[in-house]
Amino acid sequence: MIIDLDTATKNVKTADYDVCICGAGAAGITLAVYLARAGKKVALLEAGGFEYSDQSYDCYKGKNTGMEYWGLDTCRLRYLGGTTNHWSGRCKPLDEVDFMERDFFELPGWPIQKSDLANYEAEAKSVVDISGDFTAADISNWTSGKFIPDRYAISAPTRFGDKYRAEIEVSGNISLFINANLIDVRLNKELSSVTELVVMDYGKKRFTFTGKNIVIALGAIENARMLLNCDTQLKGGIGNQSDFVGRCFMEHYNINYGFFSGNPKYWKNMKKGLSLYTDSQFSLEHKIGNGNVSMSISPDPPTGGGRSKELRKYIRNNVCKWDEITELSRKFVDFQCPGDGILGTLMEQSPNKNSRVSLDKETDSFGLRRVNLSWQMNELDKRTIRTIGIELAKEFARQDYGRVQLASYILDENAKIPVGYHCHSIGTTRMSKSPEYGVVDKDCKVFGIDNLYIGGSSVFSTGGGTNPTFTIVELALRLAKHLS
Amino acid sequence: MTNRRKFLRNLLSVTVALGLSKKLFPNLIAFDDYFDDDEFIIRNGWVLLKSDLDSTNDY
């Protein structure tokens, strides 16, 4: 059943659900569907509608006061399906090393192991419509022990809103409320349990929802923003007794390492490119995070559209003819010549308390303070980026797969590393053994609150060098089982 | 403009450009001694095997 709060009367059923889930993205929809299939009565609250709207996106506006980052109202999608409406579809579970305690990280790691999620891997594959094993490029002659062919699968990608809308519509156990903005989370007198959720439509009608259990799954930035905004009963916000809500915001660094020249012996028939991942022994030995480096050969003629297409075409037709001019020109303009080996990266960011989401003074139309994102890189992350780049270049030469030309900021430790990003916001309500180092316990329950859970990538204790959606789904399936 | 003057002007332009580029982009040459092992060497940012310097391999 789907109810639009903008047009609903006050008489809609808002009470006595088994579970109220705030946010209908990858985590929220997976949870709702699997809880409903298990016979639970679910209220699924989605702040947007079925597509983009200005009034919904206005709530996402905020400030970036740290490293350069996506516009906060462009990287996230605020309607049914959430950010799965523009995800790439790359799927891979986290590795065992990601769950290991790494004492060179600033903070403790996950309180669970890879085996705790392994039981949900097959079901998660079905949720995102992938079948078979996670596979790597077949490069049997690659013998490096430092970098191994990365195993992954590609989802269509599944748009969760499109895929599950029909099931939600006919389900007798799910009530999906659209245009339902969570405004406040009210606690009992003892401040130990959620009593009700305050929700408003865009006409500012006020509704109160109640359920035995509550899950907040609004996305990593918004989960923290909501908990911090709920500070009328608990100073500093809900779950924030150790000042961890909003802290340890992590992304995956997208670093431009430079170029490579591929040995035609290996690259002539390598149509899909090569995706390598750090071997766990290598990253542990160097005391660095993990990362993926994807290599491919730039095609000829140029692909893709966009405003820079004509400029790129001109450069390829002219500048690319002379090696020396190309080298010099690349100092000013980043461009690729046909046949260039392109290096794409997805590097792990370590948990860092100074990289954080906090609240701005300015408020949105519901009176909630807007987000202030201060994304920060620490020294360990710089070492991760540089070590992987340099060691990969050496292995590439050693294996005679080609030669890598590294950007100067990889070789110069005093240079500033230009940072790109992947729209993977994670880690703001991190999972921990105790409230001393996090916000939720191993079951995703907020420390100190009996019936409040968090869904999505905000609970990640560490982020690995892997796209997060598959792990988000595994965690949602695990939470669904816990709440069933 | 005579061919001789054109040649001299172009020569001057190229000389100035190269000089400026090394001044503005010292990293073009700064990492030659980055590795202190017998296996690798860097030339203009390219991570090479030392044996590459004697090789005719141009990929």
Q: How confident is the model at residue A13 (pLDDT cuts 50, 70, 90)?
A: confident
Q: How confident is the model at residue A228 (pLDDT cuts 50, 70, 90)?
A: very high
To the nearest whole Å, the CA of A69 is away from the closest chain B CA by 27
Instruction: Identify the pLDDT of residue B34.
Output: 85
What are the φ/ψ torsions at residue A198 (nearest 5 degrees)?
-95, 125
Instruction: Identify the pLDDT of residue B19.
Output: 60
Instruction: Identify the pLDDT of residue B25.
Output: 53
Of residues A397, A402, A405, nearest to B45 (C-beta): A405
Sequence length of chain B is 59
Q: Is the pLDDT of residue A306 over 70?
A: no
Q: Chain B residues with CB-CB distance to A under 8 A?
A: 17, 21, 24-25, 27-28, 30-31, 34, 39-40, 42, 44-49, 52, 59
> What separation in angstroms does the CA of B28 have from each of A91, A136, A372, B20, B33?
39, 36, 39, 12, 12
Q: Is the pLDDT of residue A430 over 60?
A: yes
pLDDT in tens, A114-165: 999 999 999 999 999 999 899 888 787 888 999 999 999 999 999 999 999 9
The amino acid that residue A61 corresponds to is K
Across the interface, do B30 and A404 touch by the CB < 8 Å criterion?
no
Among candidates A181, A245, A186, which has minimal Cα distance to A458? A245
* A267, A293, A328, A414: best to mutate for the B interface, most B CBs within 10 A: A328
Chain B residue numbers touching A262 (CB-CB < 8 A): 59
Q: Is the pLDDT of residue A342 over 90?
A: no
Compute the average pLDDT of residues A344-354.
96
pLDDT in tens, A38-47: 999 999 999 9
A227: number of CA atoms within 13 Å, CB side?
34
- The percent of residues above 90 in pLDDT, for chain A, comes to 80
Q: Is the pLDDT of residue A54 over 80?
A: yes
Q: Check residues A301 and A9 and name the one with the higher pLDDT.
A: A9
The Cα A234–Cα A377 span in angstroms is: 31
Instruction: Identify the pLDDT of residue A121.
Output: 97
CB-CB contact of A410 with A257 (8 Å): yes
Chain A residue numbers touching B24 (CB-CB < 8 A): 331
Q: Is the pLDDT of residue A219 over 80?
A: yes
> What separation in angstroms does the CA of A317 have from each of A90, A300, A314?
33, 10, 5
Of residues B27, B44, B49, nearest to A412 (C-beta): B27
Q: Is the pLDDT of residue A426 over 90?
A: yes
Instruction: Identify the pLDDT of residue A323.
Output: 77
Instruction: Identify the pLDDT of residue A454.
Output: 98
Across the interface, do B47 and A412 touch by the CB < 8 Å criterion?
no
DSSP H or E run through A187: strand A181-187
> What separation in angstroms does the CA of A241 have from each of A109, A360, A447, A452?
19, 20, 9, 15
Of residues A263, A328, A393, nearest to B47 (C-beta): A393
Using alpha carbons only, how large is chain B's radius of gyration in Å?
17
The Cα A326–Cα A316 span in angstroms is: 10
pLDDT in tens, A246-294: 999 999 999 999 989 888 888 887 777 889 999 999 999 999 999 999 9
Pick the CATH number of A2-298+339-483 from 3.60.20.10, 3.30.365.10, 2.40.160.10, 3.50.50.60: 3.50.50.60
The amino acid that residue A243 corresponds to is D
Across the interface, do B47 and A264 touch by the CB < 8 Å criterion?
no
To the nearest whole Å, the CA of A264 is away from the closest chain B CA by 7
Compute the average pLDDT of residues A171-196.
97
The Cα A303–Cα A305 span in angstroms is: 7
The Cα A135–Cα A152 span in angstroms is: 5
Could you tell me where the DSSP H helices lie in A289-407? 309-317, 323-329, 379-398
Compute the average pLDDT of residues A87-92.
94
Q: How confident is the model at residue A303 (pLDDT cuts 50, 70, 90)?
A: low
Instruction: Identify the pLDDT of residue B23.
Output: 56
Of residues B21, B30, B49, nearest to A397 (C-beta): B49
Of residues A263, A327, A403, nearest to B47 (C-beta): A403
Instruction: Identify the pLDDT of residue B56.
Output: 73
Chain A residue numbers touching B25 (CB-CB < 8 A): 328, 331, 408
Chain B residue numbers touching A396 (CB-CB < 8 A): 47
CB-CB contact of A23 with A216 (8 Å): yes
Compute the average pLDDT of residues A415-431.
94
Q: How confident is the model at residue A340 (pLDDT cuts 50, 70, 90)?
A: confident
Q: How confident is the model at residue A363 (pLDDT cuts 50, 70, 90)?
A: very high
Chain B residue numbers touching A412 (CB-CB < 8 A): 27, 30-31
Q: Check residues A26 and A340 and name the one with the higher pLDDT.
A: A26
To the nearest whole Å, the CA of A265 is away from the closest chain B CA by 10
Beta strand pairing status for A402-406 and A258-262? antiparallel
Instruction: Identify the pLDDT of residue A272.
Output: 74
Whose structure tokens read 């069933």? A484
- The percent of residues above 70 in pLDDT, for chain A, comes to 98
What is the residue extent of each domain of chain A? 2-298+339-483
Least confident of A76-90, A177-191, A468-482: A76-90
A87: number of CA atoms within 13 Å, CB side?
25
Give every residue of chain B whose pLDDT is below 50, as ranges. Answer: none
Instruction: Identify the pLDDT of residue B38.
Output: 85
What is the residue extent of each domain of chain B? 3-54
When the pLDDT of each residue in chain A is averaged and rounded to a whole number, the result is 93
Compute the average pLDDT of residues A431-445.
97
- Concatenating the DSSP letter of every residue in A92-105 gives -PPPHHHHS--TTS
Instruction: Identify the pLDDT of residue A3.
Output: 95
Return the residue of B nearest to A340 by Cα: B59
Instruction: Identify the pLDDT of residue B15.
Output: 65
Return the residue of A nearest to B32 by Cα: A411
Instruction: Identify the pLDDT of residue A338.
Output: 77
Using alpha carbons only, how large is chain A's radius of gyration in Å?
23
Least confident of A50-64, A297-311, A328-342, A411-425: A297-311
